[in-house]
């Protein structure tokens, strides 16, 4: 059992203002809000950083964030918000349990955009080099290969299902034809009957 503050919230050992909960995720108001409606969204399972989760868990978490983005700004009378993670110590993470922030933004609130978080000196002429490094890393890493593999598997599966469906339609048509033929064999010969 961890003594992480957000794990304690999950276990109900620390009181918080919950706004949403399901079996995997929880959302509550930030105790020290940056703006009206500032909300923290966490997976109940303890991870420090986003990349530690499984893709399925990340999808579930992102689906909650997606839905809350439609609700939270509106419920505090605005249309806009910043959404983000302080993903790791260097990025300013203080609570070491993965969490998203939804921070509603208001006209004239004097806040900064996300790009205002850090201003490193990066030379424009270095950008192509950086893009190459990232692309090479993608090529060499297993991360996207897994995605390609799973997409290939999904495609194969859906083709399999399509084939099974087509086969079953064909065979039910055949059965219907056979059934009709049988019925015709059994039909009485009325022309014979009339002659009698």
Binding site for ligand AMP (CB under 6 A): 5, 14, 16, 28, 30-32, 40, 86, 92-95
Q: What does the alpha-carbon distance between residue 104 and residue 100 come to, in Å, rounded to a whole number?
A: 13
Q: What does the alpha-carbon distance between residue 153 and residue 62 come to, in Å, rounded to a whole number?
A: 23
The single residue of 38, 97, 99, 101 carrying the catalytic annotation is 99
Q: Which is nearer to ligand AMP, 13 or 170 (CB)?
A: 13
Place of tokens 């059994």: 186
Q: Tell me which residue of 96, 29, 21 sits closest to 60, measured CA to CA.
A: 21
Residue 65 near residue 102, CB atoms below 8 Å:
yes
Q: Which is nearer to ligand AMP, 78 or 93 (CB)?
A: 93
Q: Which is nearer to ligand AMP, 52 or 166 (CB)?
A: 52
Q: Could you give the 3-state DSSP secondary structure of residue 138?
A: helix
Tell me if residue 101 is catalytic. no
CA dihedral 40, 43, 48, 49 (to 10 degrees): -90
**Shortest Cβ distance from residue 101 to ligand AMP (Å)?**
6
Q: Which pair of structure tokens corresponds to residue 188?
A: 């009485």
How long, in residues, is the chain? 196
Q: Which is nearer to ligand AMP, 28 or 73 (CB)?
A: 28
**Shortest Cβ distance from residue 151 to ligand AMP (Å)?**
33
**Shortest Cβ distance from residue 38 to ligand AMP (Å)?**
7
**Shortest Cβ distance from residue 164 to ligand AMP (Å)?**
49
In sequence order, which residues have a C-beta less than 8 Å from that of residue 109 and are 6 or more positions away?
Answer: 35
**Catalytically annotated residues:** 99
């Amino acid at each position: 059992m961890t003594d992480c503050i957000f794990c304690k919230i999950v276990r109900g050992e620390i009181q918080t203002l919950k706004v949403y909960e399901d079996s995997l995720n929880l959302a509550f108001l930030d105790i020290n809000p940056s703006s009206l409606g500032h909300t923290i969204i966490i997976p109940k399972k303890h991870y420090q950083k986003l990349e530690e989760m499984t893709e399925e868990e990340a999808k579930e978490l992102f689906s909650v964030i997606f839905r809350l983005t439609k609700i939270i700004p509106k419920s505090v009378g605005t249309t806009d918000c910043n959404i983000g993670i302080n993903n790791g110590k260097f990025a300013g993470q203080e609570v070491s349990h993965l969490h998203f922030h939804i921070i509603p933004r208001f006209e004239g609130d004097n806040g900064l955009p996300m790009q205002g978080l850090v201003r490193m000196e990066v030379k424009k002429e270095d950008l192509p080099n950086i893009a190459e490094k990232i692309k090479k890393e993608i090529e060499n890493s297993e991360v996207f290969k897994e995605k390609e593999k799973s997409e290939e598997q999904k495609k194969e599966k859906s083709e399999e299902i399509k084939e099974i469906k087509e086969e079953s339609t064909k065979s039910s048509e055949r059965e219907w034809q056979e059934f009709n033929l049988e019925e015709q064999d059994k039909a009485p010969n009325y022309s014979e009957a009339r002659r009698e």
